[in-house]
């Protein structure tokens, strides 16, 4: 238990710092900034207390908002993916999730890809809708969601594979 708190705190601080100091300054092709900090929300222990998880996801987003002066858009987007994560888990991993038997380091690459990219796309859709805040720019929102989503998904997958030790 102690170990889990320590691991998650270290992950939180390092992902926030990486996001704020490196990934917020990429501006690939003028407007594409990946948001790999949501990996923290994605790999948060699956059996954790649900209410605690929602509050932590909200605070994660709010920290990014504080650094980026973006109001509450990251907080809202992180909260949404935290709330719908059980549904996505059930859809991607099927029954093994119901028995609490699932551990992210042990799943196949394909399942991991589906799980990460679907949540990333939902997160980015909420994020950019709130950022642009104008329904007439829907094409711009979708374009930004798609391109940034691909970028973020690749980064999240890379980090996830690099930093996860396979447990038998």
Partner 1 sequence: MQQIINFLIRNKNFLLFAFLFCLSLVFTIQSHSYHKSKFINSANFLSGGIYESASSIQDYFHLKTYNKQLLEENARLREKEARLYTITGSSDSLSIYDAIESQFRYIPAKVLKNSYSKTDNIITLKAGRRDSILPEMGVITSQGIVGFIEKTSTKYSTVLSILNTNFKTNAKLRASEHYGTLEWNGQDPNIMTVIDMQEQAPVKIGDTIETSGQSAIFPKGIPIGTIEEFELDNSKNFYTLSVRLFNDMTSLGHVYIIENTDKNEITTLQENSIDEE
Binding site for partner 1 (CB under 8 A): 17, 20-21, 24, 27, 30-33, 50-51, 54-55, 58, 61-62, 65-73, 75-76, 79-80, 83, 130-133, 137, 140
Query: Is-contact 7 14, C-beta < 8 A?
Result: no
- Closest distance to partner 1 from the beta carbon of 79 (Å): 5
The gap from C-alpha 33 to its chain's centroid, in whole angstroms, comes to: 14
Nearer to partner 1, 4 or 49 (CB): 49
- Closest distance to partner 1 from the beta carbon of 21 (Å): 5
Using the Cα atoms of residue 34, residue 62, residue 25 and residue 42 in order, give the sign of their dihedral.
negative
Write the Ramachandran bin of 42: left for phi over 0, alpha for psi from -120 to 50, otherwise beta: alpha
Nearer to partner 1, 83 or 103 (CB): 83
- Closest distance to partner 1 from the beta carbon of 65 (Å): 5
- Closest distance to partner 1 from the beta carbon of 2 (Å): 26
Nearer to partner 1, 30 or 109 (CB): 30
Cα(85)–Cα(134) distance, integer angstroms: 27
Nearer to partner 1, 58 or 112 (CB): 58
SS3 75: helix
Query: How many other C-beta atoms lie within 10 A of the C-beta of residue 49?
Result: 10
Element (H, E) at 58: helix 50-68
């Amino acid at each position: 238990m102690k170990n889990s708190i320590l691991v998650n705190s270290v992950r939180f601080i390092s992902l926030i710092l990486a996001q704020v100091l490196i990934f917020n300054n990429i501006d690939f092709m003028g407007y594409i900034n990946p948001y790999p900090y949501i990996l923290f929300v994605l790999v948060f222990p699956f059996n954790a207390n649900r209410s605690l998880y929602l509050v932590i996801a909200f605070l994660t987003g709010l920290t990014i908002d504080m650094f980026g002066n973006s109001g509450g858009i990251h907080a809202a987007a992180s909260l949404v993916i935290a709330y719908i994560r059980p549904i996505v888990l059930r859809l991607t991993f099927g029954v093994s999730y119901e028995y609490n038997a699932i551990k992210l380091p042990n799943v196949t690459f394909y399942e991991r890809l589906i799980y990460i990219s679907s949540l990333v796309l939902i997160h980015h859709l909420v994020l950019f809708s709130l950022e642009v805040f104008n329904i007439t720019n829907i094409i711009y929102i979708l374009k930004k969601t798609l391109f940034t989503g691909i970028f973020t998904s690749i980064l999240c997958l890379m980090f996830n594979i690099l930093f996860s030790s396979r447990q038998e």
